[in-house]
Amino acid sequence: MNADPRRLAQALGHFFEQGGLLEQALTHRSVGPTNNERLEFLGDALIGFVIAETLCLRFPQADEGTLSRLRASLVKRESLAKLARGLKLGDYLRLGAGELRTGGHARDSILADALEAVFGAVYLDGGFDAARKVVLNLFAGRLEQTDAAHAGKDPKTRLQEWLQSRKRPLPEYVVLSIGGNQHDQTFTVSCLLNDLNESTRGEGTSRRRAEQAAAQAMLEKIENA
């Protein structure tokens, strides 16, 4: 590992009694048979339940379809990878030589899977209440911004509606770079608001996903201005 995992535990607000669990959660399958895949499986189920419970309590009038779309938006790969980057999770990962050479520590799929594994490790170490607390603390900002009225609308649509309601020009999306291998590319796209000279960037495994990420970043920027 490049960084001391105790710093990650401090950022999570959970100090492990079983330090080996955190180390396993940060170990990619490319390292060997003792890796984070089983913890990832557990963490995925845990996040889904905790977020579903929170949404049900927060939006008592929302129907099943609306709640499902809200949950999907919160726990999708890109969202988890963004949270992982906020924790600098890539600095703590243990990767095999091949993944190290190809920049696996920055790949959405690896970051998202590792974050799920970390949640699974917290659960096994401290129980459900400890894991629920860590999940909700990390998702607090995104949950605060979640609006049932926007369920089912992607960030590009929401940004367009926000601009049109204020009679503002529509954004321009520009591909800045395409990296990675042919079968595992990463797109970087900018979202430009020319009338305000504002821009944001987004990354994704396709141009569409990168544009959505850039639009989401722009929404957060202008709504919090």
Indicate the annotated binding residues for Mg(2+). Answer: 40, 113, 116
**Known binding site: residues?**
40, 113, 116
The dihedral region occupied by 167, where left means phi > 0, alpha psi between -120 and 50, and beta the remainder, is: left
User: What span, in angstroms and rounded, lies between the C-alpha atoms of 78 and 212?
Assistant: 10
Active site residue 44: yes
Q: Which of 78, 99, 108, 116 is catalytic?
A: 116
d(CA 53, CA 135): 12
116 a catalytic residue: yes
37: number of CA atoms within 13 Å, CB side? 7
9 phi/psi in degrees, rounded to 5: -60, -40
Give the active site residue among 44, 78, 203, 211.
44
Which sequence positions are flagged as catalytic?
44, 116
